Amino acid sequence: MTRHGDIQTRSAARLLVVEDEHLVAMHLEARLQAMGYQVLGVAGSGEDAIRLAGEHKPNLVLMDIHLQGAMDGVAAAEVIRARHRIPVVYLTAYADQNLLHRAKSTEPYGYILKPFLDRELQVVIEMSLYRHQMEAKYHEAQKLETVGRLAGGIAHDFNNLLTVINGYTDLILARLPLKDPKREMLEQVARAGTRAAALTQQLLAYSRKQIMQWQEVDLNEVLLHTTTLLRTLLGDDIDLSILPGPALPHVKVDPTQFEQVLMTLAIQARNAMRSGGTLTIETRTAEITPSDSDEAGGLPRGLYVVLILCDTSGGLEPDVCANLFEPFFKARETDLPSGLEMAAASGTVKQLGGLIEVESELGVGTTFRIWLPALPRGPLNHGATPPVGWQRGTETILLVEDDEGVRRLTAHSLTLCGYTVLAAANGQEALAILARHQSPIQLMVTDVEMPGMSGPQLARTIQPTHPHLKVLYQSGYTEDALLREDVAHAQRHFLQKPFTIKELAAQVRLILDTP
């Protein structure tokens, strides 16, 4: 059985011993094996150590610092470190200060002075392995953070372009007669724009940069709301069994984003059950105690709501299961969701404070578990749902958007809906408009990331003089922590780019009608 979450169980460490005294080397190998370590080989010279390190890729090299021959232990360690980045612990019978000074350049993980006790040896090995594991995770996190920043930046610019493309397409479609021959071509453009928008959302979810519009929900209600779509997605060959747990505590999620996670995992199950089968989805509560934290992927202790998806497929190969949430992983089975899609699902759940685990057994099936923190029992606080349609009004709106294409589209669309629009390209222009405009302004629609003054900074600047001015933020990507906190507590409204004209009109009307 293969299991994968955020924390993976480390198998017995694989060691390479470098010792030129044959009897000492054999004795050390036997001691290490008795401790449960796997000794991949014993090298008697620096040249042999380099060769074996390249062939076996050990987790750790135990290197005698004084080796006979042309290459001592430090010289061998320098080559191994440069070529393979394998950590080294030096063994030495006496402290040669010149040699120890040279050894610092190899960044050794420790020194053991001969003769040593088994317990001493084991402690140094375990500490070295743990340090190397943490360093590897740190470097991987740095790489993923870089990729995440790149993905978020691309999504930001791409979402501005998609807002213009999709927006004007909507406007033209709204004016075309139903039987116009050009309508079908424009509808193809609209569908392609929608698919492109979904791709940018995957990039944002992977980089954990999308804004969550949190709601306190009963997860059973979200699941039942998605059941019809799930049945359509799975097809006639797969039976869907829904087992909602009784009296679940509430969780705080973005229902739309969470439904997308369910879709991704359902596609994974459907494609794994090519000859049909059963997908069972159930919900239950579970409590994590301090002793369970390592087994639960490092989640903090407390009460959780767990959603479990279990299929009757043939299971996943261990390498597929272990890499399923890696963004650049693609299984041999080309119809499985891509690594980016699965990484996006994992990123979304992590933003919710939870974790996705996968457990698979060949010939039996695959089980996904989504852990979400439970909220204290209390009345359900549903967020209001904007009405669908081109809502109209006569209020005055201050529009602040630095992208000219998006600004012109938004102003044109709001004007068509009956509003008076005052457009500004940045925060300073917006302040100037507010200073000279005598009539009341009911709403400010502002981009989040703008040169000079961000949307949240602008809102804080004008709040003392315009305390009743409502604010609608819009963005394709943001790292503004204050905005995240505001949206999470429903103190601010947010519209994700790219948006349709219907979504913009509905959200504006909703805010203006809310006391």
Spatial neighbors of 473 by CB under 8 A, at least 6 apart, are: 446, 447, 448, 455, 456, 483, 487, 492, 493, 494, 495
Supply the pLDDT for residue 153: 65
Is the per-residue pLDDT at 294 higher than 60?
A: no
Distance CA 97, CA 317 (A): 51
Residue 380, number of CB atoms within 10 A of its CB: 11
Supply the pLDDT for residue 351: 82
Supply the pLDDT for residue 106: 76
Residue 272, number of CB atoms within 10 A of its CB: 23
Tokens of 250: 């509430």
Query: What band does 192 get if pLDDT is binned at 50, 70 and 90?
Result: confident
CA 50 remoteness from chain centre: 38
Query: Which of 392, 441, 439, 432 lies closest to 415 in space, CA to CA?
Result: 392
Is the per-residue pLDDT at 9 higher than 50?
A: no
Query: Which of 268, 292, 294 lies closest to 279 in space, CA to CA?
Result: 268
Helix (H) or strand (E) holding 506: helix 501-513
User: Could you give all domains of the chain from N- to C-terminal order, each with its CATH number?
Assistant: 2-116 (3.40.50.2300), 143-206 (1.10.287.130), 219-373 (3.30.565.10), 396-513 (3.40.50.2300)
Distance CA 288, CA 473 (A): 37
Contact criterion met (CB below 8 Å) for 249 and 218? no
The string of DSSP letters for 263-290 reads: HHHHHHHHHH-TT-EEEEEEEEEEEE-G
Spatial neighbors of 445 by CB under 8 A, at least 6 apart, are: 397, 398, 399, 400, 401, 410, 414, 472, 474, 508
Distance CA 267, CA 279 (A): 11
The helix, strand and coil proportions of the chain, stated in percent and rounded to the nearest 5, come to 45, 20, 35
Contact criterion met (CB below 8 Å) for 42 and 29? yes
- For the whole model, what pTM was predicted? 0.45
Tokens of 377: 């029992």
Distance CA 426, CA 451 (A): 7
Residue 116, number of CB atoms within 10 A of its CB: 14
Of the chain, the end-to-end C-alpha distance in Å amounts to 55
The string of DSSP letters for 101-146 reads: HHHGGG--SEEEESS--HHHHHHHHHHHHHHHHHHHHHHHHHHHHH
**Residue with the larger pLDDT of the pair 434 and 380:** 434
Is the per-residue pLDDT at 210 higher than 60?
A: no
Q: Is 362 exposed, middle or buried (0-12, 13-18, 19+ CB in 10 A)?
A: middle
Give phi and psi for 393, each to the nearest 5.
Answer: -170, 175
Distance CA 320, CA 341 (A): 14
Contact criterion met (CB below 8 Å) for 445 and 397? yes
Tokens of 488: 């999470």
Supply the pLDDT for residue 327: 66
Is the per-residue pLDDT at 359 higher than 50?
A: yes
Query: What band does 7 get if pLDDT is binned at 50, 70 and 90?
Result: very low
**DSSP-derived 3-state class of residue 23:** helix
Supply the pLDDT for residue 236: 83
